[in-house]
Amino acid sequence: SLTAGIVGLPNVGKSTLFNAITKAGAEMANYPFATIDPNVGMVEVPDQRLARIDELIPAKKIIKTTFEFTDIAGLVQGASKGEGLGNKFLENIRQVDAIVHVVRAFDDDNITTVTGKVDPKDDIEVINLELSLADLDSVNKRYERVGKMAKTKDKDAMAEYAVLEKIKPVLEAGGAVRSIEFNEDEQKIAKGLFLLTSKPVIYVANIAEESMADPDSDPYFKIVADLAAAEGAEALGISAKTEEEIATLDDDEKAEFLEAEGVTESGLDRLIKASYHLLGLQTFFTAGGKETRAWTFKKGMKAPQVAGVIHSDFERGFIRAETVSFEDLDKYGSMQKVKEAGRLRLEGKEYVVQDGDIIEFRFNV
Ligand code: GDP
pLDDT in tens, 171-187: 999 999 999 999 999 99
Q: Tell whether the model's pLDDT for residue 31 goes beyond 90.
A: no
Query: Given this model, what pLDDT does residue 115 score?
Result: 75
Residue 122 confidence class, pLDDT cut points 50, 70, 90: very high
Q: Which of 197, 222, 251 is the last residue of a domain?
A: 197
Indicate whether 186 and 213 sit together in one domain: no
Domain membership of residue 283 (yes or no) is: no
Query: Which atom from ligand 1 is nearest to the alpha carbon of 244?
Result: 20
Indicate whether 41 and 88 sit together in one domain: yes
Q: What does the alpha-carbon distance between residue 45 and residue 203 come to, in Å, rounded to a whole number? A: 19
Mean pLDDT of 150-155: 91
Please state the ipTM of this predicted complex.
Answer: 0.89
Query: Given this model, what pLDDT does residue 91 score?
Result: 87
Average pLDDT, the chain: 92
Q: Supply the residue whose CA is at minimum distance from atom 17 of ligand 1.
A: 13
Q: Supply the residue whose CA is at minimum distance from atom 28 of ligand 1.
A: 241
Mean pLDDT of 310-329: 96
Residue 327 confidence class, pLDDT cut points 50, 70, 90: very high
Ligand 1 centre to CA of 103 (Å) is 11
Binding-site annotation, residues: 11-16
Mean pLDDT of 124-138: 93
| Phi and psi at residue 232, to the nearest 5° | 70, 25
Residue-number span of the structural domain to which 307 is assigned: 300-363
Binding-site residues, ligand 1, Cβ < 6 A: 8, 10-16, 106, 108, 111, 206, 239-241
Query: Which atom from ligand 1 is nearest to the alpha carbon of 9?
Result: 3
Cβ proximity of 360 and 320 under 8 Å: no
Domain membership of residue 292 (yes or no) is: no
Give the whole-number percent of the chain exceeding pLDDT 70: 97
Q: Which of 140, 167, 197 is the last residue of a domain?
A: 197
Strongest mean pLDDT among 16-30, 68-82, 129-143: 129-143
Residues 344-365 pLDDT 10s: 999 999 999 999 999 999 999 8
Q: Ligand 1 pocket test: which of 114, 209, 241 has the largest number of ligand atoms within 8 Å of its C-beta?
A: 241
Indicate whether 134 and 229 sit together in one domain: no
Indicate whether 347 and 259 sit together in one domain: no
Indicate whether 153 and 7 sit together in one domain: no
Query: Which atom from ligand 1 is nearest to the alpha carbon of 73?
Result: 4
Ligand 1 centre to CA of 151 (Å) is 53
List, in sequence order, the alpha helices (H) in the chain: 14-23, 49-56, 86-94, 120-151, 155-172, 184-191, 219-230, 240-246, 251-261, 267-278, 303-310, 312-316, 326-332, 335-340
Indicate whether 272 and 146 sit together in one domain: no
Residue 129 confidence class, pLDDT cut points 50, 70, 90: very high
3 state DSSP class of 17:
helix
Binding-site annotation, residues for ATP: 11-16
Q: What is the model's pTM?
A: 0.89
What CATH number is associated with residue 182? 1.10.150.300
Indicate whether 90 and 31 sit together in one domain: yes
Query: Given this model, what pLDDT does residue 257 score?
Result: 94
Ligand 1 centre to CA of 110 (Å) is 10
Strands of the sheet containing 357-363, edge to edge, are: 61-63, 291-298, 281-286, 357-363, 318-325, 345-347
What CATH number is associated with residue 334? 3.10.20.30
Domain membership of residue 53 (yes or no) is: no
Indicate whether 100 and 144 sit together in one domain: no
Residues in the chain: 365
Residue among 135, 105, 118, 279 nearest 201 (CA): 279
Indicate whether 191 and 212 sit together in one domain: no
Q: Which of 181, 197, 213 is the last residue of a domain?
A: 197
What CATH number is associated with residue 258? 3.40.50.300
Indicate whether 356 and 310 sit together in one domain: yes
Query: Given this model, what pLDDT does residue 86 score?
Result: 64
Residues 271-280 pLDDT 10s: 999 999 999 9
Query: Given this model, what pLDDT does residue 163 score?
Result: 97
- In terms of Cβ atoms closer than 10 Å to its own Cβ (0-12, 13-18, 19+), residue 212 is buried
Domain membership of residue 59 (yes or no) is: no
Q: Tell whether the model's pLDDT for residue 248 goes beyond 80.
A: yes
Query: Given this model, what pLDDT does residue 110 score?
Result: 81
Ligand 1 centre to CA of 17 (Å) is 8
Q: To the nearest 5 percent, what fractions of the chain are helix, strand and coil?
A: 45, 20, 35
Ligand 1 centre to CA of 338 (Å) is 51
Q: Tell whether the model's pLDDT for residue 208 goes beyond 80.
A: yes
In the chain, the number of structural domains is: 3
DSSP-assigned letters across all residues of 238-293: E-HHHHHHHTTS-HHHHHHHHHHHT-SS-HHHHHHHHHHHHTTEEEEEE-SSSEEE
Residues 83-103 pLDDT 10s: 666 677 888 899 999 999 999
Query: Given this model, what pLDDT does residue 365 score?
Result: 82
Domain membership of residue 54 (yes or no) is: no
Q: What does the alpha-carbon distance between residue 239 and residue 219 come to, in Å, rounded to a whole number? A: 15
Query: Given this model, what pLDDT does residue 211 score?
Result: 94
Residue 116 has a CB neighbour count (10 Å cut-off) of: 7
Indicate whether 190 and 245 sit together in one domain: no
More confident residue, 289 or 140: 140
Indicate whether 269 and 353 sit together in one domain: no
Ligand 1 centre to CA of 7 (Å) is 14
Q: Ligand 1 pocket test: which of 21, 111, 245 has the largest number of ligand atoms within 8 Å of its C-beta?
A: 111
